[in-house]
Structure 1
C-alpha cells in the first residue's frame, strides 16, 4: 500500500511537470494535479484497501495522467497549427463572384472605414490552372498573387519562406527572353 501511495505521489509529480510544460494554460493539468493530490492523501490516510480497489484506483490514476499528457500535447499542436494557417491566410477574405474585381480599391477603403480594428488590407489574385511537366504530365496548380509591398501587414509569409525574402519579390519582373536586363 505504501508503494501505491508513492505511485500517487509520482502522479502528483507528473501533474506538476505537465502543468509547468503547458505554462499554466491547460486547465486539465490543474484538474489532474488536484485529483492526484487527493488520491495520494487518500492512500496515505487509508492504507488498508483491498488489492482490487488498489489496482482499480491505480488504473484511474494512470488513465488521468495519460489523458493529461495527451491533452497538453494536443493543445500545443492546435495552437501551432492555427498560427501556421493564419500566417499564410488572412483572417477575413472578401471575394467577388465575377472574374473581374476592378473596384477592389473601393472595397479596401470601405473595409478600413467600417471597422477601426482592421489592421491591414491587401488585394490578391487567385487562379487555378494546369501545369505540364516532363513528357506531358499534367498537374493542377493554384497560384495566389500578392502585393509584396503590403504583404507584411496581412501575412507572416517571410517566416514560411525557405529561400529569399519578401523584398526580393519587389524587383520588377522581366519579360520572357529579356533576362539580361537585371
Structure 2
C-alpha cells in the first residue's frame, strides 16, 4: 500500500532541518503527549482495578457472600441450618456467628470495635485471617477469656500476645439506677494483619460459645455467613437458602456494599473519560504540526506534483508522517505504563524515602500498599484508541496536502 518512495520522503520531512526546527519541536511534543496520555490512562485504570480487586477480596474474604438472619431476635437451630446450607453445591461453608459493637480498652486507651464470635474450626476456614496471623497461633483460640485482635488495634493500645484487653458491651444489665454495661477482661492470644486498616483496627474475634454467653443471645446466634464458590451467584443462592430456611431473611454482599462498589465504578468511568482527553489534546497537536508542515512544504509538494506524483501519493506521505508520531508515542506510552504498573510499589517506596512524606496513608485509602491490576482487554482498548486517534488526526492535513494546486504554490516562487 505504501511505496518505498513515500516512506523515504516522509522520513525526510520528519527529520526537520535547522530552519524547520519549530515544526520538529511541535511534533516531539505531540509524541510525548500521546505517550504520556496512554501511559497515564493505563496506570490509573490498573490502580483502580487493583483497588477494586483488593477491596473486594478483603471484604468478601472476611464477610459472607450471603448473610442469613432472623427477622427478630437470634437465629435458632443454627447448627442444623448450617449443615443444610452446606449441602448446596454452590456453597463452600456456612458459619454461624455472633456479632456486636463494643468498646475495647487497654492501658488507658479506648476505641470502638466489632466483635465476631466464631468457632475455631470456622475461623481456620477463613484463609484471609488464618494465613495472616502475625503473632500467636490459632490453636490457642479456645476458652472463655481469649480473643484475637488486629495488629493496628494492638499498636494503638500498646498490647501484644499475652496482654489483657477489656471489652465493654453497651447492652448491659438493667438495675434500679439504670443500665450497667457488661465488661470483661480478655487475654490476647493472636494478632492478625488483613492489609485493610479498617479491619485491622476494629475487628475482634472471640470463641462463639463465650460470645453467645457474653452478648446473651441464648441458644441462638446473630446470623449465619454463607461463603460461595462464585460470589457472582449470590442472588440465585440467596433464593435457595430462603427456601431451606423459611422465616429467615437473606442479604447478599452486593446489597451490603452497593454504595461502596457503585461509587468505585462511577469514579473509574469518570477517570477514564477525563484522562482520554489527554490523548485527544495530543492528537490535536499532531493536526497542528502536520498543517504547519504542509504549509512549509508547499513548494516541494508542487514540484512533486509537476514531476508526476499523484494526489494519493502525497496524501500517503503525510499520513505516514502523522501516524508515525502517533504509533511511536502510543507504543512508548504502553511500555512506560506497563513498566510503571509492574514496579508501582517500589516507586512509591523510593519517592516516600526521598521526600519523607507518606504518599499512600493506609488510614485513608484502606490498603497498606498500592495495588495495580492490568486487564489485557482494557490495555488493548487504550492502545487501540491511541492508534485510532493518531490516524484520524492525520486525515485532514493529508487531504489538504493532496488538494494543493501546483500552479498556485509555484506562482510566487
Same fold by TM-score, threshold 0.5 exceeded? yes
What does residue 139 of structure 2 align with? 167
Shift of 1:108: 1.3
Q: Does 1:149 align with 2:121?
A: yes
Q: Does 1:55 align with 2:19?
A: no
User: Given the alignment, which residue of 52, 75, 80 partners 1:106?
Assistant: 80
Correspondence list, 1:132-143, <5 A: 139-143=111-115
Is the contact made by 1:122 and 1:154 (CA closer than 8 Å) also made in structure 2? no
Shift of 1:91: 2.3
Go from structure 1 to structure 2 and tell me whether the alpha carbon gap of 1:130 and 1:151 turns closer, same or farther (over 3 Å shift): closer
Shift of 1:59: 0.7
Shift of 1:64: 0.5
Shift of 1:133: 6.2
Alignment deviations for residues 91-148 of structure 1 (CA, whole Å, 9 cap, x no partner)? 22222232221222232133223x212111111100123456677x874432111111
Q: Does 1:80 align with 2:54?
A: yes
Is the contact made by 1:121 and 1:153 (CA closer than 8 Å) also made in structure 2? no
Question: Aligned partners of 2:78, 2:9: CA distance in 1, in Å?
Answer: 72
Indicate the larger mover: 138-147 or 60-69: 138-147
Q: Does 1:125 align with 2:108?
A: no
Q: Give the secondary-structure state (helix, strand or coil) at the position aligned to 1:95.
A: strand
Aligned residues: 133
TM-score normalised by structure 2 residue count:
0.28
Is the contact made by 1:119 and 1:153 (CA closer than 8 Å) also made in structure 2? no
In structure 2, the gaps of 5 or more residues are 1-6, 15-22, 147-183, 188-413
Is the contact made by 2:123 and 2:130 (CA closer than 8 Å) also made in structure 1? no
TM-score normalised by structure 1 residue count:
0.56
Shift of 1:56: 2.5
Go from structure 1 to structure 2 and tell me whether the alpha carbon gap of 1:79 and 1:166 turns closer, same or farther (over 3 Å shift): same
Structure with bigger RCO (C-alpha 8 Å, 6+ apart): 2
C-alpha RMSD of matched pairs (Å):
3.5
Q: Give the secondary-structure state (helix, strand or coil) at the position aligned to 2:57.
A: helix
Q: Give the secondary-structure state (helix, strand or coil) at the position aligned to 1:67.
A: helix
Max radius of gyration: which structure? 2
Alignment deviations for residues 58-106 of structure 1 (CA, whole Å, 9 cap, x no partner)? 3122211222123333333433333222332222222223222122223
Alignment deviations for residues 34-77 of structure 1 (CA, whole Å, 9 cap, x no partner)? xxxxxxxxx99834254434423431222112221233333334
In structure 1, the gaps of 5 or more residues are 1-42
What does residue 46 of structure 1 align with? 10
Is the contact made by 2:100 and 2:116 (CA closer than 8 Å) also made in structure 1? yes
Question: Aligned partners of 1:71, 1:127: CA distance in 2, in Å?
Answer: 37
